[in-house]
Amino acid sequence: MKKTLNIIVFLILIPFLAGCGNTMKNNNNTNEAFNLQTKVYDVINDNAFEGFGNLIFPVDRNIPKDMTLENAGDLYIWYNNINPNKTVEIVNYMKDQTTKGNKIFYNIYSKEEMEADPEKKNTGLFFFRGNENSKFAVLNAGGGFMYVGAMHDSFPHALELSKKGYNAFALIYRPDPEKAMEDLSNAISFIFDNADELKIDTSGYSVWGGSAGGRMAAWLGSYGTDYFINKDYPKPSTVIMQYTSLSEVTGNEPATYSVVGTNDGIADYRIMQERTNRIRRNGTDAKIEIFEGLSHGFGLGEGTNAQGWIENAVKFWEEHM
């Protein structure tokens, strides 16, 4: 396993180092706190996000001082079909939640742990609230273990899940395979240990991820938290994976739902199809949706032939709760 973790960065980063930047743009303004012309730094420095605003956008990417939300998609190399209006919706949702007095960010490490290891300060969970005492999901964005692309690859999914009544946590992790798995495992630990305060149901939870985050979701499903932090918590009932060509199958996988495009130069759809078949042969439910002509990093797939895939993924999770 550790050998696998040590080599995957190289495998992920080979293609498209120049980036992909297919972005859907719309010049409509809104009457809410933020709009397409709002500068990214104005969001980061907003008083509502004091103490964690820097984690809303990738801390490991250089953000130009004059970059607006309309152009923030340029930060997310390897990603396509980025919708600036969704970015605006998300930051306004976050602002609205804090205005209502709802806590939206939780540290997963103690103050002492973060002081001992400053890298851990750049971790945490963004909480997209659903209904009280409903089940939860943890979402892991990709970014090639170079950065965390949450604004396109986990925040939108978390927001959609919350609209369906589920409690969704988007993890900001350290972009290193082993550290990321430590962060994800500690996030699961935090959620279970604070379930009463968070008002969530911990049974039958799911773990989601795209690209590098998809590997994280799969590894947690296959190995469990005790492999990474020596603390044993229940494994997820369901893993939802987007566009990651992980081939490893241990025989311990939970029910797994995967999506990928045929034009993905990073995650080969045939590898994902074969992994799905292997999980099935082990007697575990597994499904895959393959979208003709779609490239890597399509997120929710709005405006593409993948639009609506999240509905199918949620139904699959519900079947395995």
Which tens digit of pLDDT belongs to each residue from 184-209? 999 999 999 999 999 999 999 999 99
On the question of pLDDT at 210 being above 70, the answer is: yes
Cα gap 293→195, rounded to integer Å: 42
On the question of pLDDT at 177 being above 80, the answer is: yes
3-state SS of the chain: helix, strand, coil percent to 5?
A: 40, 15, 45
Each residue of 214-245: pLDDT tens digit? Answer: 999 999 999 999 999 999 999 999 999 999 99
Question: What are the residue boundaries of the structural domains of the chain, listed by start?
Answer: 2-18+103-319
Which element (helix H / strand E) includes 318?
Answer: helix 309-319
Contact 107, 85 (CB under 8 A): no
Domain 2-18+103-319 architecture = 3-Layer(aba) Sandwich (3.40)
Look at residue 115 and give its three-state secondary structure.
Answer: helix
On the question of pLDDT at 277 being above 80, the answer is: yes
Beta strand segments in the chain, E: 105-106, 124-128, 134-140, 167-172, 200-210, 238-242, 255-261, 286-291
pLDDT the model gives residue 165: 98
**Tokens linked to 118:** 């400053």
Look at residue 287 and give its three-state secondary structure.
Answer: strand
pTM of the model: 0.91
Label residues 131-142 b or e (16+ Cβ within 10 Å = b).
eeebbbbbbbbb
Each residue of 107-131: pLDDT tens digit? Answer: 999 999 999 999 999 999 999 999 9
Question: Does residue 299 come out as left (phi exceeding 0), alpha (psi in the -120 to 50 range) or beta?
Answer: left
Q: Which residue has the tokens 């730094």?
A: 41
pLDDT the model gives residue 32: 83
- Name the amino acid, one letter, at 71: N
Cα gap 232→228, rounded to integer Å: 10
- Band (pLDDT 50/70/90 cuts) for residue 25 is very low
Using alpha carbons, select from 248, 246, 245, 256 the residue that is nearest to residue 296: 245
- Band (pLDDT 50/70/90 cuts) for residue 31 is low
Four-residue CA torsion sign, 297, 301, 303, 305: positive
Name the burial class of residue 164, with classes exposed (0-12), middle (13-18) and buried (19+) by CB atoms within 10 angstroms of its CB.
Answer: middle
Using alpha carbons, select from 254, 171, 246 the residue that is nearest to residue 220: 254
pLDDT-above-90 percentage for the chain: 89
Cα gap 220→187, rounded to integer Å: 11
